[in-house]
């Protein structure tokens, strides 16, 4: 039972913050308590650093790990030019294995302990990706990226195959550390039949769903042309909007669509770096929060160029003036709510799993706000000294 001596900061409900100079005690992979009194056990000294809950990436694409920073003029052009050719490479199992390892190691190195992941385009490579996630130790919520319309032939899955693979995956995945997520690319790439079947499976097996919504005008017009309805209404008519659904982006939602998402209790992954990269626009965060919609933060690699979530918080601020407290709250406990893991992760409260990150800052006598502000505006992977999941180190910097 080790104790980590450090300045420990955690984000609780109602935007509250706990900031203690003391000891984080871990027992059997779980947080026992945070205390100022020196405990009678092995002490690991992180005195020069701070400890925070592990970062939660609410939206990221595994088969795009190698195409970060590839400029293009619009979402649809970028998909054609870079994303689809790269995702086809992940049908090869050797390529999938090598690059899944790179992807999950990248998350660990960046302080991410839990992630909602769009996986490879076939089930075999998705299984390989789950093995690599387990080997590295990331808490992973992922699925094969399903699509059957408007994409290259190699990437298409039939509804029948998709149903078969969903059922084979759910049987051998433990829910807390890894879970299969029904992953629809987005409405323009999925037939109504595929969306409906996915929603049915989600309902029967109580699974999470993830997809994209309302990212760019050109895409929204395409959805309207294909289905004759607003984006949110298309998903709702297929049964895709549930309390276990995570929708990435939501940049151009109408008030009516926001009301519908709030009514279904679906969640939103805010991806500001990606929105800047593709010039998608600014997500109306205040409007969504006003409706009580749970919001997490997503890197959206590779439209977002960084695997680290701190630069994404900086971009969130440039998109909408949120405080560093709100930003880190959304990143940790907010992200856990979006992923549906808040009963066991996302904060450093007693009883939760020992998922935390050790961060270097310039001066640990700064106020809480100053620390958060410095990390939000200057932070990146160089600040990450160590990453722990279930109380076990999954990454240790050479500088520690």
Q: Tokens 């961060």 correspond to what residue?
A: 359
Contacts with Zn ion by CB under 5 A lie at: 248, 300
Output the smallest distance, CB 7 to Zn ion, in A: 35
Output the smallest distance, CB 329 to Zn ion, in A: 23
Q: Is the Cβ of residue 186 or residue 328 nearer to Zn ion in the bound state?
A: 186
Q: Is the Cβ of residue 132 or residue 300 nearer to Zn ion in the bound state?
A: 300
Backbone angles phi, psi at 52, to 5 degrees: -140, 160
Q: Is the Cβ of residue 86 or residue 300 nearer to Zn ion in the bound state?
A: 300
- Helical residues (DSSP H) of 110-185, grouped into ranges: 123-136, 159-171
DSSP state of 39: P
Cβ(128)–Cβ(97) below 8 Å = yes
Which residue of this chain has its Cβ atom nearest to Zn ion in the complex?
300
Output the smallest distance, CB 147 to Zn ion, in A: 13
> Which H or E element spans position 94?
helix 93-109
Output the smallest distance, CB 223 to Zn ion, in A: 16
The C-alpha atoms of residue 35 and residue 129 are separated, in whole angstroms, by 38
Provide the token pair at 34: 């945070």
Q: Is the Cβ of residue 319 or residue 358 nearer to Zn ion in the bound state?
A: 319
Output the smallest distance, CB 130 to Zn ion, in A: 19
Cβ(359)–Cβ(52) below 8 Å = yes
Q: Is the Cβ of residue 271 or residue 371 nearer to Zn ion in the bound state?
A: 271
The C-alpha atoms of residue 367 and residue 382 are separated, in whole angstroms, by 21
The C-alpha atoms of residue 19 and residue 10 are separated, in whole angstroms, by 7
Output the smallest distance, CB 301 to Zn ion, in A: 8
Report how far apart, in Å, the C-alpha atoms of 175 and of each of 199, 205, 291, 386 are.
19, 12, 29, 25
Report how far apart, in Å, the C-alpha atoms of 204 and of each of 118, 126, 154, 261, 384 are.
21, 22, 29, 21, 40
Q: Report strand pairing: 295-297 vs 267-270.
A: parallel
Q: Is the Cβ of residue 121 or residue 354 nearer to Zn ion in the bound state?
A: 121
Output the smallest distance, CB 58 to Zn ion, in A: 10
Q: Is the Cβ of residue 62 or residue 288 nearer to Zn ion in the bound state?
A: 62
The C-alpha atoms of residue 383 and residue 396 are separated, in whole angstroms, by 12
């Amino acid at each position: 039972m080790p104790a980590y001596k450090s300045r420990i900061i955690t984000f609780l409900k109602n935007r509250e913050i706990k900031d203690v100079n003391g000891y984080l005690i871990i027992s059997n992979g779980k947080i026992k308590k945070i205390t100022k009194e020196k405990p009678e056990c092995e002490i690991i000294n992180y005195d020069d650093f701070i400890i925070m809950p592990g970062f939660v990436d609410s939206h990221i694409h595994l088969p795009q790990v190698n195409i970060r920073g590839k400029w293009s003029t619009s979402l649809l052009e970028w998909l054609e030019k870079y994303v689809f050719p790269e995702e086809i490479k992940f049908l090869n199992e050797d390529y999938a294995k090598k690059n899944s390892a790179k992807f999950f190691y990248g998350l660990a190195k960046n302080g991410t302990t839990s992630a909602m992941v769009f996986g490879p385009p076939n089930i075999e490579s998705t299984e390989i990706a789950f093995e690599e996630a387990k080997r590295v130790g990331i808490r992973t919520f992922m699925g094969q990226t399903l699509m059957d319309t408007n994409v290259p032939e190699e990437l298409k899955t039939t509804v029948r195959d998709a149903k078969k693979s969903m059922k084979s995956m759910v049987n051998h995945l433990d829910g807390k550390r890894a879970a299969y997520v029904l992953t629809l690319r987005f409405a323009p790439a999925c037939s109504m039949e595929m969306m409906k079947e996915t929603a049915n499976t989600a309902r029967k097996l109580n699974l999470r769903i993830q997809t994209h919504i309302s990212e760019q005008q050109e895409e929204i017009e395409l959805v309207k042309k294909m289905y004759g309805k607003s984006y949110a209404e298309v998903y709702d008519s297929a049964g895709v909007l549930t309390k276990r659904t995570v929708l990435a982006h939501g940049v151009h939602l109408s008030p009516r669509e926001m009301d519908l998402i709030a009514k279904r209790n679906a969640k939103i992954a805010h991806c500001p770096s990606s929105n800047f990269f593709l010039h998608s626009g600014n997500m109306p965060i205040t409007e969504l929060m006003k409706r009580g919609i749970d919001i997490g933060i997503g890197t959206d690699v590779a439209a977002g160029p960084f695997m680290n979530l701190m630069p994404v918080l900086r971009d969130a601020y440039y998109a909408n003036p949120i405080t560093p407290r709100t930003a880190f709250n959304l990143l940790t406990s907010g992200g856990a709510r979006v992923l549906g893991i808040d009963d066991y992760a996302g904060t450093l409260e007693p009883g939760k799993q020992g998922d935390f990150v050790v961060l270097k800052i310039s001066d640990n006598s700064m106020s809480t706000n100053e620390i958060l502000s410095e990390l939000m505006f200057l932070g990146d992977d160089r600040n990450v000294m160590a990453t722990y999941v279930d109380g076990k180190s999954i990454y240790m910097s050479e500088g520690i």
